Chain A
Amino acid sequence: MQALLNSKEQKIRQILETVCDPEIPVLTISDLGILRDIKINDEEIEVIITPTYSGCPAMDAITMDIRMKLIEHGYKNVRITSLLSPAWTTDWMSEAGKQKLEVYGIAPPKLSGHLNGQTTLPACPQCHSNNTKLLSQFGSTACKALYQCNDCKEPFDHFKCH
């Protein structure tokens, strides 16, 4: 029975691996660290996620996408629970996710210890120079800040530490 459940969980995990952030489509929800747990019993699948920012509109889209993907694969009885605590942190982002971000042109977050203290500047995702400057604490989405590279002059997004 346990083996059956495990294989079912693996299948579900594989399906959820295809659910991406609608605003940063290179990242899956497990890359982002917002997929917290999957609970399976005979009748129901419970997917537990945690929001990134309180007001992030992507969360509604992600919830819908999880439901649709599972329904497509025949799992009709799905419950999606949003868990606020412990609060999401960018430290939960996978290393693979951080690499994908950088290739995509977004400087990945450093460890969240930087949130309050002295922050080091993110390296330019284009030319990898460390000679960059902050343009704005807030960017095109809640999770990003806007920087510019002083060497190649390219402006770029930085996924903020959180």
Chain B
Amino acid sequence: MKTPNNEKNSISSQASKVPLSEEFREAYTLHLADTTLILAQRNSEWCAHGPILEQDIAITNISLDLLGQSRNFYQYAASLINNATEDSLAYLRTEREFKNLLLTELPNGDWAQTVLRQFLFSVYQSLVYEQLQKSSDEQLAAIAQKSLKEITYHIKWSSEWVIRLGDGTTESNARMKKAIEAIWEYTGELFIPSGYEIELAATGIGTDPALLKQSWLQKVREVFDEATLAMPSDRFMQTGGKQGTHTEHLGYILAEMQSLQRTYPGAAW
């Protein structure tokens, strides 16, 4: 595998040489790749810490699916960007270059917060990918189509957990309510399109997430109803992830995830 000698040369400065429309495609592909990678990395923190063995295996399986999806996106992005490889894109970009959703970088919290985040994200992801599989970009369409089957299982598993905890004991219900309070303000960003999403939606490559909000709310409401949880009230929403402005948590994730490649460039095993 090729590893670029210098990150700046390989990734950032190339952007100015490609047409603007290609820049949007690159940014969007990286947004999709970063989002799935960071959630995979977060979920994998549960490995050997899950509440019981079967659920430990479940969350790490979901993590593996997300990692596989992100690799498909990174491999495609690497084919679009000069001198990039899937590894250089994952391991050698900085915080401000990552375009993942803020929701995915939040700490796991307790099990309630982790399964709630997975549920909110998986429903969103399925709605986006259902549109994306009709993309005029064949590779993005293929990755979306492939991933959707996996996401179906993620929604099923995570929604069952939201219902089990929400409609469970006093303690589990309180935990789920606390989880909603903790992460709801990071869901607004999902439906506010970035510049590249607007551009690509107009050209049939991407999709405008604003159009998916009602379907998302409806699915979330169905599950919350069954879980005896109230839909949260309107509130201030955090934004910035799609443009590379992150919470303080992302830097720590990257530090852990990238330290080996940055300390021993090109290391392989």
Contact = CB atoms under 8 A, between A and B. Distances in A.
Contacts of A142: 61, 64-65
Contacts of B175: none
Interface in A100-146: 115-116, 135-140, 142, 146
21 contacts: A54-B65, A54-B143, A54-B147, A57-B64, A84-B72, A84-B139, A84-B145, A84-B146, A85-B145, A86-B145, A87-B142, A87-B149, A115-B149, A115-B152, A116-B152, A137-B153, A138-B62, A138-B157, A140-B57, A142-B61, A160-B153
Contacts of A84: 72, 139, 142-143, 145-146
B79 interface: no
A55 B54 contact: no
Given A85-B146, A138-B157, A55 B58 contact: no
Interface string B56-81: 01100110111111011000000000
A57 B63 CA distance: 13
A71 interface: no
Contacts of B96: none
* Most chain B beta-carbon neighbours within 10 Å: one of A57, A87, A140, A162: A87
Contacts of B57: 136, 138-140
B153 A55 contact: no
B55 interface: yes
Contacts of B62: 138
A144 to B, nearest CB: 9
A136 B72 contact: no
Given A135-B54, A136-B55, A55 B152 contact: no
A142 B69 CA distance: 13
B262 interface: no
Given A116-B152, A136-B54, A136-B58, A87 B66 contact: no
Contacts of B72: 54, 84
B28 to A, nearest CB: 18
Contacts of A54: 65, 67-69, 71-72, 143, 146-147, 150
B8 interface: no
Interface string A82-96: 001111110000000
Enumerate the 7 nearest inter-chain pairs by beta-carbon distance, A residue then B residue, closest first.
A55-B68, A54-B68, A85-B142, A136-B54, A138-B58, A84-B142, A55-B64
B138 interface: yes
B27 interface: no
- Interface SS of A by simple majority: loop
A56 B68 contact: yes
Contacts of B66: 55
A23 B202 CA distance: 44
B142 A137 contact: no
A85 B134 CA distance: 12
Nearest to B72: A54
A147 to B, nearest CB: 11
Interface string A6-30: 0000000000000000000000000
Contacts of B141: 85
A110 to B, nearest CB: 15
A111 to B, nearest CB: 14
B121 to A, nearest CB: 16
* Most chain A beta-carbon neighbours within 10 Å: one of B145, B147, B149, B153: B149
Nearest to B66: A55
B150 A53 contact: yes
Contacts of B58: 136-138
A36 B101 CA distance: 35
B49 to A, nearest CB: 16
A84 B139 CA distance: 8
* Most chain A beta-carbon neighbours within 10 Å: one of B55, B65, B66, B138: B65
A143 B251 CA distance: 33
Interface in B117-171: 138-139, 141-143, 145-150, 152-153, 156-157
A142 B61 CA distance: 6
Interface string A39-73: 00000000000010111110000000000000000
